[in-house]
Amino acid sequence: MKKRIQISLAIATALAITLTGCSSSDDAAENTFTIAYQGPLSGGEASTGTDEQNAVKYAIELFMEANPEYTIELVSVDDQGDPAVASTVAPGTAANEKILGIVGPAYSGATIASLPFYKDGGLVMISPSATRVSITDPATPDFGGPVFHRVVGKDDKQGPALAKYATDGVANAKVFVVDDQSSYAVPLREYVEAGLKSVAGASLVGGDSVINTATDYAPTIAKIKTSGANVVIYTGYYSAAAIFVKQLRDSGSKAVFAGGDGVFNQEFPKLAGAAAEDSRITGVGGLAGISADLEADFQEKMGVSSGVYSVESFDAANILLEGIKAGNTTRETMLAWVKAYEGTSVSGNTIKFDENGDISYGLFAGFTTKDGVLVNTGIIK
């Protein structure tokens, strides 16, 4: 048995050497370039990473269709959305000199853990979904410059938008805010609470912090009832939000339920069923929200519907692909390309990064659940 493994390994190695040998002499190989996607591709958060990576793959497929002379390879870097895992996979990614740029990492914590390696390697990053404010704040140790960029709005824009959207049309809004103790939800909760101050007539009546693996929200609901809140804002992720909103409705509460982009996932109404109706979620429009044709084409090519952050992931991949087409085939020139980039997002917005890696827009749209589907109600102004 052992011997057989050894033999097959030897054959595989030999084949690999021959193949790389062949391809380097091939003409097409000169136009073969590699980019990477980093995000959670396994573990509890894998659905986010899979959705994002599908959009990256879709962008690559469209690019190769339009530019048949290029071959683009994608390296999948699985950080499970976990900073501890990210710090073990990032060194290898940074050391792989073929990789010209990274779409990702998906999550803020994993981004911060990966940053030292990518800074050293001069590897440009464009995250579709890392929204933590400190990553683009030069005054903090988390600062990701010059390599870090993102095509998603920051939480300091999302918090006030969420506060406004959640309380919209609610007379004498009494707001109760719940986070899930994650490094995404806790700061977002602070931005929501800060944003509430500028909403006329709204007041903060309480809050709670429930770990995202919890399934029993009875104590939190007891607090909500005691506080007399008529608006409940949850700043964590969709799967826990679904459990929470079900229990909230089962307890007889009619308070408005609102959530941030962590809840923004079509799985949310699927999991929560009728309890999710009329929930108010801030999020970013998906491909389907931009054009039904685009979504249909995506489904045909990828075999699944486009998921969360598909627009952002698609945009991020396109920036790198356009860079390759413009002849930026070293990490150095690619970084300069991204820094100077000015182009149009598939959403119609103009993408241009400021000196810290943020985009100029980052407007959040309001979504509400109607008949089990999250429906875009337009940009929150």
Partner 1 sequence: MFEVLIDQFWSLTLAGISLGFIYVLVSLGYTMVYGVLRMINFANSEIFMWGTFGTIITSRDIFGYTQTSAPATGGKLALVLISQLIMSMAVAGLTAIFVEYVAYRRLRAKGTNRLATLISAIGISIVLSELMRLLTDSRPVGSPRVLEKIILTEVWGANIRLDTIVTIFAAALIYFLLERFVQLSRMGKAIRAVSMNEDAAKLMGVNLNRVITTTFLVGGLATGAAAFFYITVFEYSKFNIGFTMGMAAFTAAVLGGIGNIRGAFYGGLFLGLLEVYASAVLGTQWKAVTVFIVLVLVLLFKPNGLFGEAVQTTRA
Binding site for partner 1 (CB under 8 A): 42-47, 50, 181, 208-211, 213-216, 218-223, 225-226, 239, 242-243, 246-247, 250-252, 267, 270-274, 372
Closer residue to partner 1 (CB): 151 or 185:
185
Helix 185-196 to helix 155-167 angle, to the nearest 10 degrees?
60
Residues 203 and 192: their CA atoms lie apart, in Å, by 12
Shortest Cβ distance from residue 220 to partner 1 (Å)? 6
Shortest Cβ distance from residue 224 to partner 1 (Å)? 9
Closer residue to partner 1 (CB): 32 or 247:
247
Shortest Cβ distance from residue 330 to partner 1 (Å)? 36
Shortest Cβ distance from residue 374 to partner 1 (Å)? 14
Closer residue to partner 1 (CB): 225 or 301:
225
Closer residue to partner 1 (CB): 220 or 345:
220
Shortest Cβ distance from residue 281 to partner 1 (Å)? 17
Closer residue to partner 1 (CB): 253 or 368:
253
Shortest Cβ distance from residue 188 to partner 1 (Å)? 16
Closer residue to partner 1 (CB): 96 or 368:
368
